[in-house]
Amino acid sequence: MPTTFRDLHQRTNPFILANAWDAGSAKMLAGLGAQAIATSSGAHAFTMGRPDMGTLTRDEALSHAQDLIAAVDIPVSGDFENGFGDNPDTCAETVRLSGEIGLAGICIEDTALPAASAYEFDLSVERIRAASAAARDLPNDFVLVARADGVLNKQYGLEEAIRRIQAYEVAGADCVYVPMPASMDDLARICAATTLPVNALAAGPFAKISRAQFAAIGVARISLGAALARVTHRAIHDAATAMFEEGDFSPLTKALPAAITDKLLD
């Protein structure tokens, strides 16, 4: 049985990294069987009344992560966007601060936020090298995930994404992540291109893929991103539309019984 956050990362035997957005959602997910929790930059931004993509500060992200760490007794990982700065030293400092508050790991992407443009290849690798060195200096084990987001953001294609994750592996990353490739065949190519664990995102068309199907191509970790938070937004949208436009309160009959919620939050 896995005993550490790192041990959960097993190719062909993926665990579900459940992205939460507050202490309550983290406690519910842990109570329902999550083996590890992650923050979601998008879902966190939504709770602040902001859109996704570069609207959070590092202090806000760290404080939010501390709330989730305090809420559960399972590992918590941080979705920390581009490391909250362009400079490799900033990425290293973000890793050090993350380790100090007790995070089990973080993701760092290669997007020059708040724009969608990708960092130039050499800089993107240097950022991961600096972050990795900082992770290795921490007193506790820390899983650094290097994200190649250019496919998602339409900044580069699959071949460049593979070139980047292979360079990130050499630079010391512990896990790699190419969100939303075009197909399962492309995701399989990503898994085959590295010896590191690969994270997949269960969102959009990939939400129709089963854990067994992800496992079959070598995925080691399945995260949810902001997808679960957006499910709650769908519930709010649909119920509010029915209430305010039609005077129909029937969507509220689908509410989770209070006894179940209370038990999970106790």
For the stretch 176-229, pLDDT in tens is: 999 999 999 999 999 999 999 999 999 999 999 999 999 999 999 999 999 999
The pLDDT-based confidence of 3 (bands split at 50, 70, 90) is confident
Average pLDDT, the chain: 97
Q: Where are the beta strands (DSSP E) in the chain?
A: 15-19, 36-38, 76-79, 105-109, 143-147, 175-177, 198-201, 221-223
For residue 54, the model assigns a pLDDT of 83
**141-165 mean pLDDT:** 98
DSSP bridge pairs for 107: 79, 145
- State pLDDT tens for residues 92-116: 999 999 999 999 999 999 999 999 9
For residue 147, the model assigns a pLDDT of 98
- State pLDDT tens for residues 18-70: 999 999 999 999 999 999 999 999 999 999 999 888 889 999 999 999 999 99
- Using the predicted structure, report yes or no on whether residue 76 has a pLDDT greater than 80: yes
Q: Is residue 264 left, alpha or beta, with left meaning phi > 0 and alpha meaning psi from -120 to 50?
A: alpha
- State pLDDT tens for residues 224-247: 999 999 999 999 999 999 999 999
Torsional sign, CA 222, 129, 158, 174: negative
Distance CA 111, CA 88 (A): 13
What are the extents of the domains in the chain? 7-226
Q: Is residue 265 left, alpha or beta, with left meaning phi > 0 and alpha meaning psi from -120 to 50?
A: alpha
Residue 258 makes CB contacts below 8 A (sequence gap 6+) with none
pTM (predicted TM-score)? 0.95
DSSP bridge pairs for 106: 78, 144
For residue 77, the model assigns a pLDDT of 98
- Using the predicted structure, report yes or no on whether residue 152 has a pLDDT greater than 80: yes
DSSP bridge pairs for 221: 15, 199
For residue 98, the model assigns a pLDDT of 98
Residue type, 68: L
The pLDDT-based confidence of 1 (bands split at 50, 70, 90) is low
For residue 2, the model assigns a pLDDT of 76
Yes or no: domain 7-226 corresponds to CATH 1.10.10.10: no
- 251 CB burial (10 A radius; 0-12, 13-18, 19+): middle
Distance CA 89, CA 91 (A): 5
Pick from 64, 79, 75, 61: nearest CA to 30: 75
